[in-house]
Chains A and B, each alone.
Chain A
Amino acid sequence: MGTNTLWILVGQATWQTVVMVFFSTLFSLVLGLPLGILLTVTSPENQGGIMPRPVLNNIIGRIVNVLRSFPFIILMILLFPLARLILGTSIGTAATIVPLSIAAAPFVARVIESALKEVDPGVVQAARAMGSTNAQIVFKVMIPEAMPSLVSGITLTIINLIGYSAMAGAIGGGGLGDLAIRYGYQRFRGDVMFVSVVVILVLVEVIQMIGNKIAAKMMEKR
């Protein structure tokens, strides 16, 4: 394998990782955002709940906790049938997106919840006093007010997903983790291992930097 082939392999794997992370971030947000909002609004009043539902809050909270403490590798195996159901296959980059999204969703839910709970209760009370509906409080007040923390939280989610996606590679998901294991570990190609790891590090750094920049920009405008 020449240098050229190496770079082609790394390029392909990087692309696969980017695709996996992008879509799993997207879907985990789709799943996690409503959960996070639900966790916030149903929490007790003194914790910023605008429509407290203690039982529901407790149930969702527990489900989220169980899913979060599940070892990812086991969750992936458990979710193979689901991936097959949705996509017709349980291997490959696309199939990996299913367990990745589901594994990250509870994390996203907690991230969103903690960002929304940071919103000044006085501001929420003011919005309520003005006759806002609950939906208006969530979408026109809480989310815009929490935006900088939400951006930081989403940045954290993406970085976590980069890590998870590398793990997913180990069971046939493709991407940089897969490359590192198949070439670097199983075929003793130290250089491939090294390059893969470096690319992952660079990805994480870049995402973190962009996230910080956006959050800082938002804070400037306040």
Chain B
Amino acid sequence: MRITLKSLKRSYGKLRAVNDVSLTIPSNTIFGIIGKSGAGKSTLVRLVSLLEKPDEGEVYYDEKRVDNLPKEDLMMRRRHIGMIFQNFNLFSSRNCAQNIAYPMEINGYKQEEIKSRVHELLKLVDLEGREEAHISTLSGGQKQRVAIARALSCRPDILFCDEATSALDPQTTSAILDLIKDIQKRMSLTVVMITHQMEVVRDTCKEVAVLNDGEVVEQGRVSDIFSHPQNQVTKDFLSRLVGHDERKTRLYQWSHKEGSYLLRFPGNVTDRPVISQISRKYGVDFNLRAGGVQVVDGEEIGTMIVDILSPDVTALPLVLDELRNQGVIVEEAEHHGN
């Protein structure tokens, strides 16, 4: 299912939560929407998932316009949309099996069908035999697994993940992300991941849109955006990534002091001796504090944290410009709290 948004707008009083957002979310892929809190992510997902009507603009699922569907059709359409949330939103009055059964109940599935599907889904999310478990006895990761099973029970064509891993620890997060990736492939789902965590985008998404103040400030393939971030908001998100996820970022810090510059070497730069050339040309020294490789959507990006020692202070801006000209992404590293 391809999702197309055309100049969506939604305001609450004076607040423009979503301001003219146009996006195409390709079919059968995992698409990330990243933004800080207050960027308009939640409103956008409510609009795209048909929980709320836009003030202006249109939402299409494949060729069909869906934002203006009559109430009844809207409800039926929602029954084929799966959604998972940060707080899981499971029914505490129902056990595992009954939670997963709920969408099928309201969809009029037969009792035997529900039972076998619940069994199948629990197996899919690795919770086999936990039918009778009370929700409060489950861990956060298990709760999200039940929520995923519930979201998938009526074989949806779209799955919305609204900050689905934000309440989970890093290990559980990556387990849940792996599960979502696996399910996406198996069921040919279109998955929309709303998040404020860049590592979620890095580890799962093919494409991403960066949302800020209700507008899309940058979008494209994840590997492109990671190697060439254009917007400051995107750069801020990327800078927070360094060294935080031990599993995928192999960044080693061998010096006690943090360096003051963060250099990223996208694929096309890695084969040239950029640093030593610049060092000779401007008579500056590079002190390497930390370095490593980050894997972004299958593409490796070299990262270094350095100090640049220059006897002539005026040379420093020239050095930074030269690095940028060579395709290296340079950031001042003071605010990176590794």
Task: Determine if B85 and A131 form an interchain contact, defined as CB atoms under 8 angstroms apart.
Answer: no
Which of these binds chain A: B13-21, B99-107, B277-285, B325-333? B99-107
Task: Determine if B79 and A145 form an interchain contact, defined as CB atoms under 8 angstroms apart.
Answer: no
Complex interface: chain A residues within 8 A of B83 (CB): 126, 129-130
- In this complex, the member of A131, A133, A144, A221 whose beta carbon has the largest number of chain B beta carbons within 10 angstroms is A131
Chain A: residues with Cβ within 8 Å of the partner, total of 20
**A131-B78, A133-B75, A221-B134 known; A140 and B49 CB under 8 Å?**
no
Complex interface: chain A residues within 8 A of B94 (CB): 144
Task: Determine if B106 and A129 form an interchain contact, defined as CB atoms under 8 angstroms apart.
Answer: no
Q: Does A75 contact B (CB under 8 A)?
A: no
Give CA–CA (A136, B135) in the complex, Å: 21
Q: Does A114 contact B (CB under 8 A)?
A: no
Of all chain B residues, the one with the shortest Cβ separation from A129 is: B83
**A147-B93, A222-B135, A222-B136 known; A130 and B102 CB under 8 Å?**
yes
Q: Does A57 contact B (CB under 8 A)?
A: no
Give CA–CA (A14, B79) in the complex, Å: 53
Q: Does B81 contact A (CB under 8 A)?
A: yes
Q: Does B92 contact A (CB under 8 A)?
A: yes
The smallest beta-carbon distance between A116 and chain B, in angstroms, is: 13
Q: Does B76 contact A (CB under 8 A)?
A: yes
The smallest beta-carbon distance between A129 and chain B, in angstroms, is: 5
Task: Determine if A141 and B91 form an interchain contact, defined as CB atoms under 8 angstroms apart.
Answer: yes
Q: Does A122 contact B (CB under 8 A)?
A: yes
Q: Does A58 contact B (CB under 8 A)?
A: no
The smallest beta-carbon distance between B277 and chain A, in angstroms, is: 56
Task: Determine if A125 and B51 form an interchain contact, defined as CB atoms under 8 angstroms apart.
Answer: yes
Q: Does A132 contact B (CB under 8 A)?
A: yes
Question: Would you list the 8 A-B pairs with minimal beta carbon distance, nearest first?
Answer: A131-B79, A131-B78, A126-B89, A144-B93, A122-B89, A129-B83, A222-B92, A130-B103
Extra 12 A-B pairs, beta carbons < 8 Å, given A129-B51, A130-B78? A123-B89, A125-B51, A126-B89, A130-B102, A130-B103, A130-B106, A131-B79, A131-B107, A140-B105, A144-B93, A144-B94, A222-B136
For this complex, 24 residue pairs linking A to B, each with C-beta atoms less than 8 Å apart, are A122-B87, A123-B91, A126-B83, A126-B89, A129-B49, A129-B78, A129-B81, A130-B78, A131-B76, A131-B78, A131-B107, A132-B75, A133-B75, A136-B106, A140-B102, A144-B91, A144-B93, A144-B94, A145-B91, A145-B93, A147-B93, A222-B93, A222-B134, A222-B136
